[in-house]
Structure 1
Amino acid sequence: MIKYRNILVVIDPTKEQQHALSRAAFIAQHEDVCKLKLFLSIYDFSFEMTTMLSADEREAMRASVIEQQQEWLNELATPYRQKGLNIEVKVIWHNRPFESVIQETLDFGHDLVVKGTHAHPKLQSVIFTPTDWHLLRKCPEPLLLVKDHAWPEGGNIVAAIHATAEDDEHLALNDKITQESVDIAAMIGASVHLVNAFPSTPVNIAVELPDFNPVEYNDAIKERHIKMTIEHGEQHGIAENQLHVKEGLAEEVIPQLAAELEAKLVVLGTIGRTGISAALIGNTAEHVIDMLDCDLLALKPLDYVSPLAQP
């Protein structure tokens, strides 16, 4: 089975170790036909502001920088090419890295975007949305955010689903998350664990309704989530001892289980919330990524259209 054919690898010029490249190469080595594109988006505002140079001179300087960076990317690619991997390199001049990555994905049909990631300062992230968050919200293809660790044979993958979803979009996304996890597990010899978080009983309900029994309510909610999780697991051939239904917020439950299982990858869906709702509510993937010690693969709904693709 060929899972990925055309992987876009986002290179970070500030890092000595390119974990995204290592991970993409690992995946490509497990595929029969797969090509990689090492992609670097660069920009220097001082080049645009200087008044001492003509437009042609500024363009020549930009071209020189791009050429130097292409040479560096080719150096990064050399040891992997020697192993037989098909690798292309590309450098562009762009002042919004996330837009350049998404546009490249749209223009050249990449089916996986791989990028290194790191913890993001919370206050700074509210004011200046990190590139990773923009990609989580707007990248139309699977986005693999990589941290510094290996994917050993026999490891664990955590697939986070919303088991009690009733609308077609979320049900289809559940299937996509689980199937993607199963496919990757088959490729690298890993095991898939499903996790479903369910909310605690709101305290205000018990206060406002004297006859309300929070224990019975909580048990009923948990029982329903367990039932739906088992049904979903059966549809995808996942054993009951690899199903986890836990009370709490998804952004807390998912990292906790990933740590317990020493998971190497978490797979979840992101609906791409943007604007005011993203600033006030956020997306689960954004909250989870900084709490994980492993990689995160974020998937969009089947009919998702990136804002950058809209006319």
Structure 2
Amino acid sequence: MSSERFLVVIDPSRDDQPALERAAHLARCAGARLTLFLSIFDFSYEMTSMLSQEERDAMRNGVVNQRRKWLEQLAEPLITDGLDVTFEVVWHNRPFESIINHVLSHDVAYIIKSTHAHDKLKSVIFTPTDWHLLRKAPVPVLLVKEHDWPADGTILAAVNVAADDEEHQELNDRIVDHAVKLATLIDARVHLVNGYPGTPVNIAIELPDFDAHAYNQSIKQHHTQRIEALADRHGIDHKRCHVLEGLPEDVIPELARELDAELVMLGTVGRSGLSAALIGNTAEHVIDSLECDLVAFKPKSFVCPLAE
């Protein structure tokens, strides 16, 4: 992570800035640089008919400059501490677009943003910025909650070892590689988790002689062999590999709580449109159930829709 740049999304509605605190901690550990990013918009400035375009532009620029000075005040202790910090304030009515546009035009390694629990119904109808970033951002997104990052903590890397295609295997390796590198920097241990489906109920009903227990054991053994092979490639002890029966959105939060993980890393497929609204991604199902931070990675083949 050394010399990389983190884009830190600032929330003007809060006095505290968990994302900035987390990013500063990472920057100190990794020698990374920070860009404090703020997207603002006030519709009233666009609708004021009594003012000329030049006057509206001047008022808007005044607000932008005021917010930039506020960011500089936020960053002053970090700069004094020796961190490399720059600032970006943009006027945009869709925050997620302004964030992604910045990433597309700059060399950014991570987006770091604080998050909170979302109302499930509203999340389907009015998709929050977090969800847009999980689906569309071309770089990893770190969503920060309130959980501390203690020394000798735990990073949980959620992988999908059932898939045989090269894309999933590459994504698994990238998730685990990032987890191992981060664990080295912040003095943490890496655990791997993979959920596998239990015996389909219809099979057990339709085939009375079907041995559900033997089937489950066979599936678990298959997943265990694969996750241990993945662990071997990255130097992770098999004792930290967890193969659990159940859906990922159930298994991952439960194990994260059990291990008191400070961070969960997983992949997201980047669905959009109706399929995302009705089905969603594992990351989106998991995010509100987690009490710790979350990092979501895209497949290598992912193409950002804003870049098309």
Shorter-chain TM-score: what band? over 0.9
Distance 2:205 2:45 in 1: 63
Deviation at 1:21, TM superposition (A): 0.6
Counterpart of 2:5, as a letter, is N
Moved more, 134-143 or 51-60: 51-60
Give, in whole Å, the separation in 2 of the partners of 1:187 and 1:177.
16
Q: 1:8 corresponds to which residue?
A: 7
- Aligned counterparts of 2:163 and 2:233: Cα–Cα separation in 1: 15
Could you tell me which of 43, 46, 56 is aligned with 2:44?
Answer: 46
> Could you tell me which residue of structure 2 aligns to residue 28 of structure 1?
27
Q: Which amino acid aligns with 1:283?
A: N
Deviates more, 1:204-213 or 1:65-74: 204-213
Tell me by how many angstroms 1:3 deviates: 4.6
Q: 1:223-234, aligned counterparts within 5 Å?
A: 223-234=221-232
Letter in 2 for 1:289: I
What's the CA shift string for 1:205-243, capped at 9, x where partnerless?
A: 222333432222212111111111111111111111101
**Structure 2 residue matching 1:173: 3-state secondary structure:** helix
Matches within 5 A, 1:172-187: 172-187=170-185
Paired position in structure 1 for 2:164: 166
CA distance in 2, matches of 1:210, 1:252: 29
- Secondary structure in 1 aligned to 2:291? coil
Measure, in 1, the Cα distance between the counterparts of 2:229 and 2:19.
35
CA RMSD of aligned residues (A): 1.1
- Contact 1:4 / 1:111 at 8 angstroms: preserved in 2? no
From 229, 237, 240, give the equivalent of 2:238. 240
Secondary structure of 1:84's match? coil
CA–CA distance in structure 1, aligned partners of residues 2 and 144 of structure 2: 18
Cα offset for 1:45?
1.1
Secondary structure of the 2:30 match is coil
Aligned partner letter, 1:5? E
Q: CA deviation at 1:42?
A: 0.4
**Aligned positions, number:** 308
Which of 115, 118, 122 is the aligned partner of 1:117? 115
In structure 1, what residue type is equivalent to 2:23?
A: A
Q: Distance in 1 between matches of 2:252 and 2:18?
A: 23
Cα shift at 1:152: 1.6
Given the alignment, which residue of 155, 158, 175 partners 1:157? 155
Structure 1, unmatched stretches of 5+, are none
| 2:278 aligned to which of 277, 280, 285 | 280
Give the match for residue 290 of structure 1. Answer: 288
The Cα of 1:4 is off from its aligned counterpart by 5.7
For residues 103-158 of structure 1, what are the alpha-carbon distances to aligned partners after superposition, in whole Å with 9 as ceiling and x for unaligned? 10110111111000000000000100010000000111111000123212110000
Question: Residue 38 of structure 1: SS of its match in structure 2?
Answer: strand
**Letter paired with 2:15:** E
Task: Calculate the TM-score normalised by the size of structure 1.
Answer: 0.97
Query: Which amino acid in structure 2 is aligned with residue 207 of structure 1?
Result: I
Residue 26 of structure 2 aligns to which amino acid in structure 1? I
Amino acid at match of 1:248: G
> Where do 5+ consecutive residues of structure 2 fail to align?
none
Q: How does 1:138-153 map to 2 (within 5 A)?
A: 138-153=136-151
Q: Deviations over 1:182-227 (max 9, x none)?
A: 0000111100000000012111122233343222221211111111
After superposition, the Cα gap between the structure-2 partners of 1:147 and 1:256, relative to the gap in structure 1 and judged at 3 Å, is same
In structure 1, C-alpha distance between the alignment counterparts of 2:14 and 2:83, rounded to whole Å: 22
Q: Is 1:189 the counterpart of 2:180 in the alignment?
A: no
Partner Cα distance (1:140, 1:51) in 2: 38
* Cα distance between partner residues in 2 of 1:148 and 1:243: 26
Which of 71, 78, 89 pairs up with 1:80? 78
- Whichever residue aligns with residue 12 of structure 2, its letter is P
Whether the 8 Å contact between 1:3 and 1:183 is mirrored in structure 2 is no
Match of 2:251 in 1: 253
For residue 119 of structure 1, give the secondary structure of its aligned residue in structure 2. Answer: coil
Shift of residue 61, structure 1, vs aligned partner: 1.0
